[in-house]
Structure 1
């Protein structure tokens, strides 16, 4: 499935392939980082990094997380894990 992704700078990239499950993505509509889980029809499913319910996102509203966003998301997950909020 080909889609348009937006990098952090907001510039459009050439169409990209569907990411691998677990890839950290940013839903620019929600301004939220999530793990890519899969595709259902025209939507992509993302899951909050610290656990929770998946949400649907339009592929054109999703971009790869920057290195800083990935680090921040992983730190938040580890902090939640140390508090016993996620396994």
Structure 2
């Protein structure tokens, strides 16, 4: 998912938090809440970039 309200940050949908959607960065990190009207599906290239960034972070020991 892409949160356009946070500068097009890519995150994984984790669940509902009241009226908001809970998203988590693909590279790991703290979840955030997004308004559903500011969230859209990630394009394949956006998802690939996020997954690639996660792999690089993991190789540096930043993500388990």
TM category, shorter: over 0.9
Report the TM-score when normalising by structure 1. Answer: 0.70
Q: Which has the larger radius of gyration?
A: 1
Report the TM-score when normalising by structure 2. Answer: 0.95
Shift of 1:41: 1.0
More helix by share: 2
CA RMSD of aligned residues (A): 0.6
Q: Structure 1 regions of 5+ residues with no counterpart?
A: 1-24
Question: What is the number of equivalent residue pairs in this alignment?
Answer: 63
2:53 alignment partner in structure 1: 76
Relative contact order (alpha carbons < 8 A, sep ≥ 6): 1 or 2 greater? 2
2:35 pairs, out of 58, 66, 76, with 58
More strand by share: 2
Which stretches of structure 1, 4 residues or more, deviate above 6 A after TM superposition? Answer: none
Q: Structure 2 regions of 5+ residues with no counterpart?
A: none
